Amino acid sequence: MTQLLPIDDFWQAQGPILDVRSPGEYGQGHLPSAVSFPLFSDAERAQVGTCYKQQGKETAIELGLELVGPKMVKLVKQAKALAPERQVRVHCWRGGMRSGSVGWLLETSGLEVSLLAGGYKSFRQWVRTTLATPRSVIVVGGMTGTGKTDILHALKGLGEQVLDLEGLANHRGSSYGALMMPPQPSTEHYENLIAEQWVGFDPHRTVWIEAESSQVGTCRVPPETMAQMEAAPTLEVIRSKAERLEILVDVYGQAMPAELIAATERLQKRLGGLRTQEAVEHIKRGELAAAAAIILMYYDQTYRHDLVRRGKDILTIDVSQMSALQAAQSLRYKVRTWNWLPAPP
């Protein structure tokens, strides 16, 4: 018998999650582990919606049946291929006719089906509630090129709880942040990804987050997350400028020169025409460290301005000549020494 489950129980149920909304709806945002399993294409969904508005529910249902009929065998075969254990979880937008119809079809075909009560809409409400749940946060700050992301990864390798806002956004958070990265998710789906990790964090342990502005590329950091970051203690890592330039060249040195030039030219209003042109000429000659030194003039100034604007007390730690692992170990030790939060286990 088909089960209708609230979101918490739906998460714990067995089987793949089949999102029966249209591909466009799925692309805008979905449960992180869900598989796109559309009952209608985007065009068909629009067609049924128009029919509903113009001719009423009954006619729209008949049109929907007409569109779905030829697909029924294919849908069943796809579901069985995805669910060798014959258990599936199904949802649509509001937990209405689309998920109910697919649930009936798959159950009739011998699968055990769990439906999400309230559909994706209820999941989005859960996302908002989850993101607002308090956690013990430490923000890791530092100027561009100090290797903050690598330090966070090293902290995660040490067993720490880490929320990688840049990793989830597929962006490094600057004009150059999209280089050599896959496409970014929508802001809606970015929130879904963050909530999935947030709910899994132990509330009695620290969550480490890299300092970010409210926008990471095209993804907006959830306001609930930003509020907790603003209220959290910040630990600033410091490296020499020479080390920072070396790190930046190592990160971006594999990018195509044309991409580096385009990203530099996007900074012209802030960097200034002359400095921008000088940096571009260095890139053309393969002198990436020299170009990065010019570009850091803008990023360092912006960073200092942001510190003043926030007016926060920030504790610093010099990690010069340290590997990412050594820096991570040093940060853990400092946190334990300062007794800000419960010591890591």
Q: Which residues are catalytic?
A: 92
Using alpha carbons, list the distances in angstroms from residue 100 to 94, 105, 134. Answer: 10, 9, 35
**Please, where are the H alpha helices in 56-175?**
57-68, 72-82, 97-108, 119-131, 148-157, 165-169
Distance CA 39, CA 64 (A): 9
CA atoms within 13 A on the CB side of 204: 1
3-class secondary-structure state, position 197 = helix
Distance CA 264, CA 240 (A): 23
Strand partners, 339: none
| Nearest CA-CA partner of 211 in 344, 131, 134, 316 | 316
Distance CA 142, CA 70 (A): 58
Question: For residue 263, what are its two tokens?
Answer: 């990203």
Span between the terminal Cα atoms of the chain, in Å: 44
Question: For residue 160, what are its two tokens?
Answer: 């720490």
Q: Which helix (H) or strand (E) holds 241?
A: helix 241-252
